[in-house]
């Protein structure tokens, strides 16, 4: 018997009537549960619940809405360890890493608690004589959130708190690979006092996504996932008249200049390359070593990689867990084969790693390629695993040109002691999120998160101020209260006097 992971519709669990999928414990390789896959009827049911809840929730005062979010924040804080354990059990990342994910999720709830400040409109008194003009920010209606497997708690909470704070109701379609965190979030939101139907979870795959993209009552979609699906979601959603933000994949480069502190750079490369087994959209996947530092830097990276402890994420001694599924393990391993075949220098091979966990777990150890060139598939493709590439260049200009030629533009970092070089880098690099001696520059909750180029479709970044912008539409009111000086009919275009 395995557990059944169901939908959450109208404030309660709803067991699906159709297809199901396997959910794995990646550290044992065993199926741990069956998750429901929504069909069109369940999509309709979830959207209908969100539609029915809309008048009540958008009619709830700002104070009332934020009170629910404050209560939700307290519950999340009190039960963060449970949520982290749920993430580890289905994703595989080690518990300390899952705890970091939950902490960053809570940051977004805290930001949404300031909704009253964010939702102030403008007011211009006496814009024309006796006429006031003001703007109000109103919710969109029912919004869909579609999230990836790699941050099953944090990515939904990039969007859900801000969407709710703005007065929208939500249908979340989490990844089918690790669907339980979404249900835990649903339970806590209900306990915090969110009315039934204001937040719903629809489990499933492409069928559920397509149902949301085409549904006339869904007004907007926030998507995070791989680039091909992000492009598809953006094109399909907008063709159905929806507002869409679709965040895609990444190939993040970290430049190390000759004057950098190489120990700091090596620590950063290993932390950002192998944390969460490389399954982060902000993982560093290419280190660009500007000569003459490459040999020394590679040696320092290897020294650190050899000490990494791979094992079951539930064991406190483990620093890196397994990959999420067997299929993903096979895909990532095939890139190691391809890198060797294409002539990259395999410095450390993670295939056949001895992990502290069950033999059937989806283990791949830290892997390092040196002398990687832009034509190799290990360079061109997002691998999304513990495979780090080193590309060597002879100048800062060449390193910058390499990054700017890449179709992705999610995150990047420069390691240097030279402020002028760092400043030029931040100015000229065509990437949305930049670190200066910081390897994973995920913006804090009061900025916004988003890449450029093929890493984001749509013009609005996630969370922070842009999140409030995405989840509201602005109405401008021009108002005059009649006095006794009626001017009569005037067919001319109104001028301000
Ligand atoms: P994915 O694209 O396979 O899936 C994302 C979501 O889309 C899931 O909910 C999935 O069920 C759904 N989906 C999958 N195939 C679909 C299809 N054919 N039609 C409609 N929907 C479909 O991504 P993933 O493997 O879950 O996550 C990893 C990817 O997400 C990586 O590429 C990573 O870089 C990216 N990611 C990006 C960011 C960012 O902020 N830019 C953040 C996290 C993850």
pLDDT at 487 over 80: no
Minimal-distance CA residue to ligand 1 atom 6: 148
Please, what's the b/e burial string for 302-331 (b: 16 or more CB within 10 A of its CB; e: otherwise)? bebbeebebbbbbeeebbbbbbbbeebbee
Q: What is the DSSP letter of 150?
A: S
For residue 225, how far is its CA from the centre of ligand 1 (angstroms)? 2
Domains and CATH numbers, the chain: 3-249+450-477 (3.40.605.10), 252-407+411-436 (3.40.309.10)
Mutate to test the pocket of ligand 1, among 146, 225, 362 (most ligand atoms within 8 A of CB): 225
Q: Which of 105, 113, 183, 281 is catalytic?
A: 281
Q: What is the pLDDT of residues 171-210, one digit of tens each?
A: 999 999 999 999 999 999 999 999 999 999 999 999 999 9
> Is any atom of ligand 1 closer than 6 Å to the C-beta of 209?
yes
pLDDT at 489: 85
Q: What's the Cα-to-Cα distance from 246 to each of 43, 158, 243, 284, 412, rounded to whole Å? A: 20, 13, 10, 21, 20
For residue 230, how far is its CA from the centre of ligand 1 (angstroms)? 7
484 pLDDT band (50/70/90 cuts)? low
Residue 349 · residue 405 · CB < 8 Å: no
- Tally DSSP H helices, then E strands, for the chain: 16, 23
Q: What is the pLDDT of residues 209-262, one digit of tens each?
A: 999 999 999 999 999 999 999 999 999 999 999 999 999 999 999 999 999 999
The model's pTM is 0.97
Residue with tokens 């390691």: 415
pLDDT at 488: 80
pLDDT at 288 over 70: yes
| Residue 266, φ and ψ in degrees, nearest 5 | -65, -40
Residue 210 · residue 235 · CB < 8 Å: no
Q: What is the DSSP string of 294-353?
A: HHHHHHHHHHHHHT--BB-TTSTT-SB---S-HHHHHHHHHHHHHHHHTT-EEEE--TT-
pLDDT at 169: 99
Checking ipTM against 0.90, whether it exceeds it is yes
For residue 249, how far is its CA from the centre of ligand 1 (angstroms)? 8
Mutate to test the pocket of ligand 1, among 148, 323, 461 (most ligand atoms within 8 A of CB): 148
Residue 340: other Cβ atoms inside 10 A: 14
pLDDT at 385 over 70: yes
pLDDT at 330: 98
> Is any atom of ligand 1 closer than 6 Å to the C-beta of 270?
no
Residue with tokens 């960053």: 104
Query: What would the mean pLDDT of 75-99 be, rounded to a whole number?
Result: 98
């Amino acid at each position: 018997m395995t557990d059944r992971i169901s939908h959450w519709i109208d404030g309660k669990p709803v067991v699906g009537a159709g297809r199901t999928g396997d959910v794995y414990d990646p550290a044992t390789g065993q199926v741990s549960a069956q998750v429901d896959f929504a069909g069109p009827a369940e999509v309709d049911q979830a959207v209908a619940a969100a539609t029915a809840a809309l008048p009540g929730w958008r009619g709830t005062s700002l104070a009332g809405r934020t009170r629910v979010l404050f209560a939700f924040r307290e519950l999340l804080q009190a039960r963060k360890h449970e949520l982290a354990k749920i993430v580890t059990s289905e994703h595989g990342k080690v518990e300390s890493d899952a705890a970091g994910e939950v902490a960053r999720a809570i940051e977004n709830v805290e930001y949404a608690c300031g909704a009253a400040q964010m939702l102030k409109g403008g007011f211009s008194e006496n814009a024309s004589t006796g006429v006031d003009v003001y703007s109000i920010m109103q919710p969109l209606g029912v919004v869909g959130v579609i999230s990836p497997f790699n941050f099953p708690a944090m990515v939904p909470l990039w969007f859900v708190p801000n969407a709710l704070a703005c007065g929208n109701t939500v249908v979340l379609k989490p990844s089918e690979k690790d669907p339980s965190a979404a249900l835990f979030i649903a339970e806590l939101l209900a306990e915090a006092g969110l009315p039934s139907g204001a937040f719903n979870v629809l489990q499933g795959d492409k069928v559920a996504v397509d149902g949301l993209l085409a549904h006339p009552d869904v007004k907007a979609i926030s998507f995070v996932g791989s680039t091909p699906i992000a492009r598809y979601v953006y094109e399909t959603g907008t063709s159905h008249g929806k507002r869409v933000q679709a965040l895609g994949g990444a190939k993040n480069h970290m430049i190390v200049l000759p004057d950098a502190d190489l120990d700091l750079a090596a620590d950063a490369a290993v932390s950002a390359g192998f944390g969460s087994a490389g399954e982060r959209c902000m993982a560093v996947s290419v280190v660009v070593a500007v000569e003459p530092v490459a040999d020394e830097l590679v040696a320092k990276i290897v020294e650190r990689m050899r000490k990494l402890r791979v094992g079951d994420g539930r064991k406190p001694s483990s620093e890196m867990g397994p990959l999420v599924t067997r299929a993903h393990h096979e895909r990532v391993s095939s890139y190691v084969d391809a890198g060797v075949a294409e002539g990259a220098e395999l410095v450390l091979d993670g295939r056949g790693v001895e992990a502290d966990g069950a033999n059937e777990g989806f283990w791949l150890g830290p892997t390092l390629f040196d002398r990687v060139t832009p034509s190799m598939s290990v360079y061109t493709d997002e691998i999304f695993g513990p495979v780090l590439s080193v590309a060597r260049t002879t100048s800062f200009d060449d390193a910058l040109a390499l990054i700017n030629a890449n179709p992705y533009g999610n995150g990047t970092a420069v390691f240097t002691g030279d402020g002028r070089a760092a400043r030029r880098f931040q100015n000229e690099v065509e990437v949305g999120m930049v670190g200066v001696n910081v390897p994973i520059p995920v913006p804090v909750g009061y900025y916004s998160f988003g890449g450029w180029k093929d890493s984001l479709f749509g013009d609005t970044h996630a969370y922070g101020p842009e999140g409030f912008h995405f989840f509201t539409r602005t109405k401008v009111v021009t108002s005059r209260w009649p006095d006794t000086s009626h001017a009569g009919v005037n067919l001319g275009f109104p001028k301000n006097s």
